[in-house]
Amino acid sequence: MYLGAPVCEAGSQRGSGGDDEACVRREAGTVLDRRKGEHCSHTYDGTSGGSTTCTPYYNVKVRWPGRTAWLSVDSGMYDKVRAGDRAEVRLWQGEVVKLKVRGRTHSYLTSSQEEVIWWLTVGCLILATGAWGAISGRFSGLFAFPNFGWLFVAPGVGVLGFLALFGGPLWVWGFTILWTGFAVFWIVSAWRL
């Protein structure tokens, strides 16, 4: 896991992709370009033509020894970055895990971290279903109104497990705790109806 790993020694080629490397490689880079745009999706409702939802994205193109890539950044970093700026790229086993430009920092999940969240969610959903079946003795009741909250508890617990393993922003912790708490509240209050 790269979060607790030391930075590799200067000039070292460690951290470039082998599994036995236990350090984060720091590379000097240069910002080449930047771009922003929107990813839009359109939903048809059958009567009024539907609605369009757009999500903005911000990217910077960075070159470091041996590689050039477009990296996603937040709007604050995008606003400060200019072509020609010096950048520091940190690599863990060949994957970019951190970008620093003009005093701003953006962190990235490794591919293995992204996979863990889905496995944790699936595992918690299976455990919630199994717990329901064991407690009630009937799986058919899982989709009854009072039990529908279990389907929201599982992703919440999965994300909390991910955050406990890999860390995350405080707002994600807060949202996930509220999400999971609401799902538990749903289950408890629906049973009292």
Residues 20, 91: one domain? yes
How confident is the model over 145-169, as a mean pLDDT? 77
Q: What are phi and psi of 118, to 5 degrees?
A: -70, -40
Tokens of 163: 């955050």
φ and ψ of 128, to 5 deg: -65, -40
98 and 31 both lie in a single domain: yes
Can you tell me the mean pLDDT for 123-139? Answer: 69
Same domain, 164 and 89: no
| Percentage of residues in the chain having pLDDT higher than 70 | 76
Q: Do 103 and 117 lie in a common domain?
A: no
Record the tokens describing residue 86, joined without a space.
């010096």
The pLDDT of residue 35 is: 94
Q: Which residues pair with 58 in a beta bridge?
A: 36
Same domain for 126 and 95, yes or no, is: no
- Domain of residue 153: give its range: 111-191
- Indicate whether 189 pLDDT > 90: no
- What does the alpha-carbon distance between residue 193 and residue 176 come to, in Å, rounded to a whole number? 26
Place of tokens 């969610």: 121
pLDDT digits (tens, 9 = 90+) for 62-100: 999 889 999 999 999 999 999 999 999 988 778 888 899
Of 107, 137, 164, the domain-final residue: 107
The Cα-based distances of 13 to 6, 16, 34, 64, 175 in angstroms read 14, 6, 28, 14, 40
Give whole-number Cα distances, 111 to 1, 18, 118, 164, in Å.
Answer: 12, 15, 12, 17
Average pLDDT, the chain: 79
For residues 82 and 140, membership in a common domain is answered with: no
Q: Are residues 99 and 16 in the same domain?
A: yes
Residue 91 sits in a domain whose CATH number is 2.40.50.660
- 81 shares a domain with 9: yes
**Among the three residues 57, 81, 107, which one is the final residue of a domain in this structure?**
107
Same domain flag for 73 and 16? yes
Q: What Cα–Cα distance (Å) separates residue 67 from each residue in 61, 62, 102? A: 11, 8, 21
Q: Mark which of 90, 107, 124 sits at the end of a domain.
A: 107
Distance of CA 66 to the CA centre of its chain: 27
More confident site: 106 or 94: 106
Residues 84 and 14 in one domain: yes
**91 and 51 part of one domain:** yes
Read off the pLDDT of residues 7-54 as tens digits, 9 standing for 90 and up.
776 555 555 545 455 677 888 999 999 999 988 887 776 666 677 888
Instruction: Give the Cα separation of 164 and 154 in Å (integer).
Output: 15
On whether both 97 and 115 belong to a single domain, the answer is no
Establish how many alpha carbons lie within 13 A of residue 122's alpha carbon, considering only the half-sphere containing its beta carbon.
5
Provide the token pair at 130: 């199994």
How many structural domains comprise the chain?
2
